[in-house]
Structure 1
Amino acid sequence: MNTPEAISASAVAALANRQLDWRHKAVPATANGTTHAEFLADKHTLADFQTPLLTLDARALEANADRLAAWCAERGVLLAPHGKTTMSPQLWDKQLSRGAWGITLANFAQLRVAREFGVQNLQLANSLTDPHAIQWVADQDSTIVSWVDSVGTVELIESTLAGTDSVLEVLVELGAHGGRTGARGVGAAMDVARAVAASEHLRLVGVSGYEGSLAHTADDAGLAAVRGYLADMRLLHEELLAAGLYGSGSVIITAGGSAYFDDVVTVLAPVISTGAETGGPSVDLMIRSGAYIIHDDGFYRGISPFSREGDAPFKAGMHGWARVVSQPEPGLAILDAGKRDLPFDEGLPEPQFIGPVLGGPMEPLVGAEITSVNDQHSFMTFDPETTTVRPGDVVRLGLSHPCTAFDKWTIIPVLASSEPGEAGNAGDQSVVDLIHTFF
């Protein structure tokens, strides 16, 4: 029997046949009507685009994908990247081709995108409470594992699937006070697990949780909150084992976004087991980091374990490009990129370089700051005594939080390198791919 593809290679390849037009704000007007493949064959460069613009760096994407895949393999940990970060089957393919177990998603609409592109192993990091979604998941010919955090959710799924022979695999989600979803405490989670074990249409296959909602820093207090929560996840797993509530010979324990995945492995790796030594189920540990493949120049740059360790940190794989549309008073420039174009929820864009044209030589932009953003504009302050800024100048911006960058673009050009040429160097950046997103 042939092993199913992790993702449909033909569906991903078919994106090259998509026609580019006015609906894709990143696409140059001169390329209207061409296909993705034709656009790349024409050897476009950054200079062919207009602003505002979001670009990706090919070298950073490859390095980041390789880095975490190797890190997980060395530790015997599964990776199911959170695909909601990019909603790009092309980037999911990069992750899956490097050995990822599957793709994690957040809601029903995202699951439908993944199945359209033939993703075989999926994790819904949420509870199924929409009857339409419950029935759809039950009808899929693929592995879709979801979460439950209350007896009420178990009862809802049971009633929705009554009269069918469907059985859904679920993880019991442990939460914490002040966190997001999840049963509040080990005792409450055990009650949910007992309800699953007694149900006709559910099978308990593990424990899930998300530590990222409990801390936003890597200081002692933040790390203590994360580690304490992870210890509770381990305790829950041990109690489930002792009570014999797992309904499968293979169990998954999963946590870990892009900020604390090292702590997840430190605390939870001892649960990994083949089952041979205990006579119980085999146990895998799975992290779900999603932002790592893109990384950033803001929140994740500061909090990523690799940044904190100072050992081969991830590389910023996305940048914004904006043009000065007004310089109305000394020390103030208005740029043509705003909330509709660039992320701002985890820190404002960071001015890095400036030059007279897009794709041309640029100089470091020292001391400049984005102080606020409107829907379509950014306010950049600078020292007029040391920096000259003119209407038409182009600014490269470092960005924070890829999760709220990608949703603003249906197509994102990938540059061979997003590093601007130095002053006096007329070199331009080549476009090597176009990334399609489906939000």
Structure 2
Amino acid sequence: MTIDWRSKGFWSPDESRSPERIAADRPSIFAGDFTWPLLVVRRSAVEANIATMADFCRRHSLDFAPHAKTTMAPGLIEAQLRAGAWGMTVATPNQALVLRRLGIERVLIANEILDPSALRWLAEQCAAGWEVYFQVDSIAGVNAAAAAGGPFRVFAELGHVDGRTGVRTLDELEDVARAVAAAPGVELVGVTGYEGQLPDQAGVDEFLDRVVEGFERLEKAGLLPKDPILTAGGSAWFDRVAERFAGVSGRARVILRSGASVTHDDGFYRERTPFVRVPGEGTLTAALEIWAQVISTPEPGLAFAGMGKRDAPFDEGLPEPLEIRGLDGSLRPATGLRVSKLNDHHTYLAVDGVTVEPGELIRFGISHPCTAFDKWRDIPLVDEDRRVVDVLHTYL
């Protein structure tokens, strides 16, 4: 990997640098080697978040396969595996290909796969010894896997009304499981579900109980292997997964897939993390921040920062101003600043009771990390003084 003029946020008009050289130099992000806007990841927050989730899983007898789609950053994936993650989860065959090339030994694809080209490649990799899993929620999905030859390990997926994928009834779940049992080269390893789109705890608990009921139905019918797997868990309700799946933990490997926890955020997950409900279980800290420059103050009550939709996530809430860095390097709270909207490259700031000047920097927290990483290919990993200690590379 080379950092040069193609790396957004790194100011390298005439030279290329290796991440190793940048890390050895430990430059401050304010010293001229970077330009604005700039997304950075705070090392201390990431390390604390990874340790928190590892501890949570150990206490609740859960295995952890965090969703790599959040970051698709090898450095963060490797850090999670070093902390004891059972494997990694991805959303697409393309992401699975990336993890295969990175040498990740165990991957769970949290989707049904119907693309013959992807299935043929997966069959080759499975035959070569790669431990990879994916989901089925239809007879068509089972037939597509069987046509590719296998050997495949699959989960039968249960969903809910108005949710994402997954069969909607337990009868359909059993039908899919029986189709897998009859399909050559396809092995059913367990049951999976996703509760993250449900709006409240009562609905989440009801759905997770149905997943357990489906698991027990397939178990009773003799459709599950000797050591089955039960898996669920986004980043908003993993405490409920731990509680509602606890009754089968002695009969199944229970795998949690929460991915956003590695960086957390200052918006969507700050409000919805399970640790708001169960603070004694741990704490997550926002690790992502975007520094952007005030580029215009054209009228009272309005300022613009040089950051937009191409730089910051906006699908689950707008960025939040946290701190202002003055022209002399001093820091002050961003109280009185509010993001009202984003254009492609402009952030509209409502200004009330605070003064900002062109050239000053604003530190923004973001909401929803999954749509932050996809906008940056090379991201500085920084210490608490905002000195770069490493560079993270990301993949789609």
Distance apart, 1:44 and its partner CA: 0.6
Distance apart, 1:357 and its partner CA: 4.2
Aligned with residue 401 of structure 1, among 357, 368, 372: 368
Letter in 1 for 2:380: P
Aligned with residue 288 of structure 1, among 251, 257, 276: 257
1:340 aligns with 2:310: yes
Aligned to 1:208: 192
- Gap runs ≥5 in structure 2: none
Q: Distance in 1 between matches of 2:388 and 2:276?
A: 28
Q: Distance in 2 between matches of 1:185 and 1:405?
A: 35
Do the aligned residues in 2 keep the contact of 1:197 with 1:204 (CA within 8 Å)? yes
Distance apart, 1:31 and its partner CA: 7.8
Q: Distance in 2 between matches of 1:324 and 1:346?
A: 24
Do the aligned residues in 2 keep the contact of 1:302 with 1:308 (CA within 8 Å)? no
Aligned with residue 352 of structure 1, among 307, 314, 322: 322
Aligned to 1:244: 222
Do the aligned residues in 2 keep the contact of 1:56 with 1:414 (CA within 8 Å)? yes
Question: What secondary structure sits across from 1:26 in the alignment?
Answer: coil
1:184 aligns with 2:154: no
Aligned to 1:411: 378
Aligned to 1:279: none
Letter in 2 for 1:228: E
1:227 aligns with 2:199: no
Q: Distance in 1 between matches of 2:262 and 2:144?
A: 36
Q: Kindly tell me: are residues 291 and 357 of structure 1, through their superposed partners in 2, closer, same or farther at Cα, counting changes over 3 Å?
A: farther
Question: What secondary structure sits across from 1:315 in the alignment?
Answer: coil
Aligned to 1:381: 350
Distance apart, 1:143 and its partner CA: 0.4
Aligned with residue 430 of structure 1, among 368, 383, 387: 387
1:258 aligns with 2:235: yes
Question: What secondary structure sits across from 1:342 in the alignment?
Answer: coil
Question: What secondary structure sits across from 1:203 in the alignment?
Answer: strand
Letter in 2 for 1:310: P
Q: Which range moved further: 33-42 or 344-353?
A: 33-42
Q: Distance in 1 between matches of 2:115 and 2:191?
A: 22
Q: Distance in 1 between matches of 2:69 and 2:193?
A: 17
Question: What secondary structure sits across from 2:236 in the alignment?
Answer: coil
Do the aligned residues in 2 keep the contact of 1:121 with 1:143 (CA within 8 Å)? yes
Distance apart, 1:328 and its partner CA: 0.8
Q: Percent identity?
A: 42
Q: Distance in 2 between matches of 1:357 and 1:345?
A: 32
Letter in 2 for 1:115: R
Do the aligned residues in 1 keep the contact of 2:107 with 2:133 (CA within 8 Å)? yes
Q: Distance in 1 between matches of 2:371 and 2:330?
A: 29
Q: Distance in 2 between matches of 1:31 and 1:259?
A: 45
Q: Distance in 1 between matches of 2:332 and 2:301?
A: 18
Aligned to 1:22: 5
Do the aligned residues in 1 keep the contact of 2:69 with 2:91 (CA within 8 Å)? yes
Do the aligned residues in 1 keep the contact of 2:22 with 2:390 (CA within 8 Å)? no
Q: Distance in 2 between matches of 1:375 and 1:30?
A: 23
Letter in 2 for 1:75: H
Letter in 2 for 1:242: K
Aligned to 2:29: 46
Question: What secondary structure sits across from 1:250 in the alignment?
Answer: coil
Aligned to 1:137: 122
Count of equivalent residues: 390
Q: TM-score, normalised by structure 1?
A: 0.87
Letter in 1 for 2:365: G
Aligned to 2:140: 152
Aligned with residue 119 of structure 1, among 98, 104, 117: 104
Aligned to 1:277: none
Letter in 2 for 1:177: V
Runs of 4+ in 1 over 6 A off after TM superposition: none
Aligned with residue 52 of structure 2, among 45, 61, 67: 67
Aligned with residue 285 of structure 2, among 306, 309, 315: 315
Distance apart, 1:26 and its partner CA: 2.1
Deviations 1:30-53 (A, max 9, x none): 683111111111221121321101
Q: Distance in 1 between matches of 2:182 and 2:165?
A: 23
Q: Distance in 2 between matches of 1:36 and 1:290?
A: 25
Distance apart, 1:94 and its partner CA: 0.6
Q: Distance in 2 between matches of 1:336 and 1:156?
A: 48
Q: Distance in 2 between matches of 1:204 and 1:404?
A: 32
Q: Kindly tell me: are residues 34 and 154 of structure 1, through their superposed partners in 2, closer, same or farther at Cα, counting changes over 3 Å?
A: same
Distance apart, 1:309 and its partner CA: 2.6
Q: TM-score, normalised by structure 2?
A: 0.96
Letter in 1 for 2:364: L
Q: Distance in 1 between matches of 2:21 and 2:83?
A: 28
- Gap runs ≥5 in structure 1: 1-17, 216-221, 274-281, 418-427
Do the aligned residues in 2 keep the contact of 1:148 with 1:154 (CA within 8 Å)? yes
Deviations 1:308-348 (A, max 9, x none): 33344200100111111111110100110000001111100
Aligned to 1:168: 152
Question: What secondary structure sits across from 2:340 in the alignment?
Answer: strand
Q: Distance in 2 between matches of 1:65 and 1:158?
A: 38
Aligned with residue 334 of structure 2, among 352, 365, 368: 365
Q: Distance in 2 between matches of 1:206 and 1:144?
A: 13
Distance apart, 1:356 and its partner CA: 2.4
Letter in 1 for 2:394: T
Aligned with residue 128 of structure 1, among 81, 95, 113: 113
User: What do you get for the CA RMSD once the two structures are aligned?
Assistant: 1.3
Q: Distance in 2 between matches of 1:31 and 1:122?
A: 40
